[in-house]
């Protein structure tokens, strides 16, 4: 699908891959009803909470909430800060580092692991399709973060 680089096609892929279907104005999605909350933990030993990956963009803990503590592009401790330890493509603790072995881990509220949230395709990378789309389309997501946030 060559046109996936375009804004409309990429957002369509995001919606399709994530299985998102907005129901009403509450921002509730079919995905959220079917999957547990995917919580991201990073740092040494994966003890630093980095936000919820599939929560609504209105949720304070969501990585999609640009006004929340985990969704800002300017806070050093978020996955969206290009210069931060968790957002830089050059930090081994970041999901965006292509060869990281210390990328954040995805867990649900009960502590079950869903693998690592990482662009590194080797090792314990997550198998959750909606999250893989984000990782595999990092360049598009980071360049169009505000548009992508609207889908959550």
* pTM beyond 0.85, yes or no: no
Residues of the chain where predicted confidence (pLDDT) is lower than 70: 1-33
What is the per-residue DSSP string for 70-101? TT-SSSTTSTT-TTSTTT-TT-TTSTT-TT-S
The tokens describing 45, both together, are 């030993």
pLDDT of res. 3: 35
Helical pair 7-18 and 129-136, crossing angle rounded to 10 deg: 150
Looking at the chain, list the stretches that DSSP marks H as alpha helix, in order from N- to C-terminal side.
7-18, 30-34, 129-136, 138-143, 145-149
pLDDT digits over 102-131, tens only?
999 999 999 999 999 999 999 899 999 999
């Amino acid at each position: 699908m060559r046109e996936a680089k375009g804004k409309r096609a990429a957002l369509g892929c995001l919606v399709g891959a994530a299985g998102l279907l907005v129901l009403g104005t509450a921002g509730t999605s079919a995905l959220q009803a079917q999957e547990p909350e995917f919580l991201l933990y990073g740092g040494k030993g994966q003890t630093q909470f980095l936000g919820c990956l599939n929560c609504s963009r209105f949720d304070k803990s969501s990585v999609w909430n640009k006004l929340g503590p985990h969704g800002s592009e300017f806070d050093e401790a978020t996955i969206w800060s290009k210069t931060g330890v968790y957002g830089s493509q050059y930090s081994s603790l970041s999901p965006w580092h292509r060869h990281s072995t210390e990328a954040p881990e995805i867990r649900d509220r009960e502590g079950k692991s869903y693998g690592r949230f990482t662009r590194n395709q080797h090792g314990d990378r997550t198998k959750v399709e909606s999250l893989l789309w984000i990782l595999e389309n990092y360049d598009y997501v980071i360049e169009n973060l505000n548009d992508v946030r609207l889908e959550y």
